[in-house]
Structure 1
Amino acid sequence: MISPLRSVTPSDAADVAALFDAARLRQARRLSSKTKQALAIDVGVSPAAIGQYESGVIAPRPEVVTALASALDVPVRFFATGRPLAPLDTSDAHFKSLRSTTAGQRNKALAYTEQVWELTHLLERWIQFPTVNLDIDSWSGLTRDRVRARSAAEKLRSAWGVSLDGPFPHLTRTAEANGVVVVFASFASDDEVKRISAFSTSKLSRPIVVTPPDRVDDVFTHRFNLAHELGHFVLHEDGVHGDIEIEREADRFAGELLMPEKPMRTLLGPRVEWDRLAKLSQVWGVAIKSLIFRSRQLDIISDASARRAYQRLETMKSSGLIKPSPTARYEGEMPVLLKRAYEYAESQGADIASIAAELAWHPARVRELLRSGDERPKLTALL
């Protein structure tokens, strides 16, 4: 059993006030989606005081520390210094839907990712995670031209042992096997983060991709979003986050990774044949809409044909003929890295309570971050 917070064990609010970590207050407030003004009202201080606490100008009094913990739903000792922390800001992450999100939504996502890293960092005490195999430095130097995305996608397939001409099986599991942490973010059920489709960062000790659960109701959407974020990792380490051209290039990379040009030119015909597209969708793990787009991108069909196909596709979706396929049905697309790391830690004597104590979180928070896999109950016996 691990002993919680060996270096710092504050016994009450007075001790925590003496060891107050301003960055922890900022993290907790961002996770709660509270403004400084809203938190100030909850706690009974001025917004200026909250700003001073977060900037480290002054530390809150013990009674204020207790009130902050209550308002932000964290243990009092959450605010004590002495634990690993990797602060992120907007320039450290790629948001697939940056322009449709608010600063508060992005800050909440960033704070969540910080905690994903903290849990990962702690679990690495028991188990060696897969080596990160992205080779960002060499790929980011590719010449920025129209074949750059294709070259990077081919290099990634080769590096990960995937055929250049066939479907990309189990994208999520393969990414995890190459050191990428993939998480389905439980916070995304909140209305304020519904617009976030996916985001990622490569600024920490290992790359992390976070996807809200409502975006994984369709496995094809999830696979494309993950491929998009992988494109950022291999092409845009130093790019301007949110730049429209960078986002377009990440989309091109995703298309090339999941639908390589050579086989697509053979498989996609000059006529939009729906039965063919439906079969290709299942075999290649991409949406029918993506196949239509790829057909147009490769000049296999005309703009007019593509427009008609999109219209017909929406009609078929509206009538229920084409329905999304939940990611949970596809084992290889469900993230398991953190869950399996915890299972090993558990075999060595750790448990949810002890890990929560070390992180100074509520146990429910640890469970949330480990709940990235398929939570459906398993049928173990028929009789």
Structure 2
Amino acid sequence: MMGDTMTGQMSKAYDHPASLPIPARIRLARELRGLTQRQVVAGTGNALSAPALSQIESGRLRPSEAAVVNLASALDVPPEFFSAQWPVDSEPVTYFRDLRSTSIRERRRARAQAVLLGEFVTALEQHVRIPEVDVPERPVGSDATAAEIDDIAMLVRRAWNLGDGPIGHVVRELERHGIAVARLTLGTVKVDAFSTRTGVRPLVLLTDDKSDNYVRSRFDASHELGHLVMHEAAEPGTKQVESQAQNFAASFLLPEASALEELPSRLDATGWSRLAEMKRVWGLSMSALLYRARTLRVLSPEAYQAAMRYMSARGWRKQEPGDREMGAPEAPMLVERSMRRAEIEADVSVEDLVRTAHLPIDDMHDLLAAAVDDRPIVEL
């Protein structure tokens, strides 16, 4: 028999004083665990029903204190997690590369992890100063041309004083301009990277599940920057939006003038050698260089398709020549250094931050461990 764990009258919605659970927080915890409402109910020992949980999550039913404790136990979060009020959106618009290749559950779980990280960074900012957000916003419509996107990519380069040459460290540039970047393990190979704005500070999440490829990771970071610059109000996951972000990344990493000057127009032995050298200098994959050549009409569509068939026949679509020599992907540093600064100068440990922010401790340990680069630092 279901226990009597609910109090209050049914209503359209209820107000949320600081001491009361916020419906979106309960849903966030469930999505973090990748569970259905029925699975959560089973985890409470059927202390409440699935319809009751649905009404709680929609804000039409106020849970009792006992229900909150049961839900917290089933979802493995502190009870205070449900009532934490952050200037962070619990359901932010999130840009995933291909909605068809990822399930709704996978996307929601990844988004929930991003929200946790965003809340942690917000808590961290109470103790340390992080670079202010400096991301130019240039919204585009579905009819934006490749030339217009080239111009936007150059505008960002100019705003960030990057000049026209190769970008030494893409992730570091994002962090210098206020974007929190983390490298996470999500447990699925279907997510390359994604970006979102959980609050004031945008987040870019790069994943290790599919690839530890240096050049691909740089392109992923640039692709997500394109979303942050151009797509605040766009529908995420559409073919057009993803194509625009792809064009932005290619333009951001290799400006048009340099591309036209350096890209080979013929793919004989000399042309392929030229691509390999450009890959090393510009930190851009041969596939991306060919994509750039096609977009700028340095190569005809037929020549581009022939080049891609050539790469496929040699297995270069999975691993290109020179990939291993390029080294490990760029490592984010902003969150890690901010944590160290808070501990050294403000005497606030990571555990202190997680506890006072009412975040699930085990999840945060996993997220922050993945976000920290443990390689020894060589001081020069």
- TM-score normalised by length of structure 1: 0.83
Tell me, yes or no, if the aligned pair for 2:96 and 2:193 is still in contact at 8 Å: yes
- Deviation per CA, 1:21-66: give whole Å up to 9, x if none: 3222111100001011221222213211211221233344444434
Structure-2 separation of matches of 1:351 and 1:325: 37
**Quick one: which of 244, 255, 263 aligns to 1:268?**
263
Q: Which residue of 2 aligns with 1:182?
A: 181
Tell me whether 1:346 sits opposite 2:350 in the alignment.
no
For residue 374 of structure 1, report the CA deviation from its aligned partner: 5.6
- Deviation per CA, 1:196-240: give whole Å up to 9, x if none: 222212462011111222245112111111111111222222222
- The alignment of Structure 1 onto Structure 2 pairs a total of residues equal to 353
Q: Which residue of 2 aligns with 1:76?
A: 79
Structure-1 separation of matches of 2:356 and 2:310: 55
Structure-2 separation of matches of 1:134 and 1:232: 11
SS of the equivalent of 2:209 reads helix
Q: Which residue of 2 aligns with 1:238?
A: 233
Alignment of 1:237-256 (within 5 A): 237-256=232-251
SS of the equivalent of 1:355 reads helix
Tell me, yes or no, if the aligned pair for 1:215 and 1:222 is still in contact at 8 Å: no
Unpaired stretches in structure 2, ≥5 consecutive residues = 1-18
Q: Which residue of 2 aligns with 1:46?
A: 49
SS of the equivalent of 2:130 reads coil
Q: Which residue of 2 aligns with 1:12?
A: none
Tell me whether 1:89 sits opposite 2:87 in the alignment.
no
Tell me whether 1:196 sits opposite 2:194 in the alignment.
no
- Deviation per CA, 1:241-284: give whole Å up to 9, x if none: 23322221111111111121111112112222222211211110
- Higher mean displacement: 153-162 or 360-369: 360-369
Q: Which residue of 2 aligns with 1:167?
A: 166
Larger RCO (alpha carbons 8 Å, 6+ apart) = 1
Change in 2 beyond 3 A, CA 1:236/1:123 = same
Structure-2 separation of matches of 1:341 and 1:285: 27
Tell me, yes or no, if the aligned pair for 2:265 and 2:299 is still in contact at 8 Å: yes
SS of the equivalent of 1:251 reads helix
SS of the equivalent of 1:335 reads coil
For residue 324 of structure 1, report the CA deviation from its aligned partner: 4.0
Q: Which amino acid aligns with 1:310?
A: M
Change in 2 beyond 3 A, CA 1:283/1:108 = same
Tell me, yes or no, if the aligned pair for 1:217 and 1:325 is still in contact at 8 Å: no
Structure-2 separation of matches of 1:379 and 1:163: 28
Change in 2 beyond 3 A, CA 1:182/1:303 = same
Q: Which residue of 2 aligns with 1:8?
A: none
Tell me whether 1:281 sits opposite 2:266 in the alignment.
no
Structure-1 separation of matches of 2:372 and 2:324: 14
Structure-2 separation of matches of 1:179 and 1:297: 30
Tell me, yes or no, if the aligned pair for 1:227 and 1:257 is still in contact at 8 Å: yes
> Which has a greater percent of helix?
1
- Higher mean displacement: 278-287 or 35-44: 35-44
Tell me, yes or no, if the aligned pair for 1:327 and 1:334 is still in contact at 8 Å: no
Structure-2 separation of matches of 1:134 and 1:326: 32
Q: Which residue of 1 aligns with 2:117?
A: 116
Tell me whether 1:131 sits opposite 2:126 in the alignment.
no
Q: Which residue of 2 aligns with 1:208?
A: 203
For residue 340 of structure 1, report the CA deviation from its aligned partner: 0.8
Change in 2 beyond 3 A, CA 1:359/1:152 = same
Q: Which residue of 1 aligns with 2:305?
A: 307
Tell me, yes or no, if the aligned pair for 1:328 and 1:334 is still in contact at 8 Å: no
Structure-1 separation of matches of 2:67 and 2:325: 45
Structure-2 separation of matches of 1:85 and 1:28: 17
Q: Which amino acid aligns with 1:344?
A: R
Q: Which amino acid aligns with 2:53?
A: I
Change in 2 beyond 3 A, CA 1:374/1:352 = closer
For residue 82 of structure 1, report the CA deviation from its aligned partner: 4.2
Structure-2 separation of matches of 1:203 and 1:361: 15
Structure-2 separation of matches of 1:327 and 1:48: 54
Structure-2 separation of matches of 1:184 and 1:82: 25
Structure-2 separation of matches of 1:368 and 1:85: 23
Structure-1 separation of matches of 2:377 and 2:160: 33
Tell me, yes or no, if the aligned pair for 2:286 and 2:320 is still in contact at 8 Å: no
Structure-2 separation of matches of 1:336 and 1:144: 34
Alignment of 1:360-375 (within 5 A): 360-373=358-371, 375=373
SS of the equivalent of 1:356 reads helix
SS of the equivalent of 1:371 reads helix
- TM-score normalised by length of structure 2: 0.84
- Deviation per CA, 1:312-347: give whole Å up to 9, x if none: 2223336977364499725xx211111111111111
For residue 102 of structure 1, report the CA deviation from its aligned partner: 2.4
Unpaired stretches in structure 1, ≥5 consecutive residues = 1-17
Q: Which amino acid aligns with 1:26?
A: R
User: Structure 1 residue runs of 4+, over 6 Å off?
Assistant: 318-321
Q: Which amino acid aligns with 1:345?
A: A
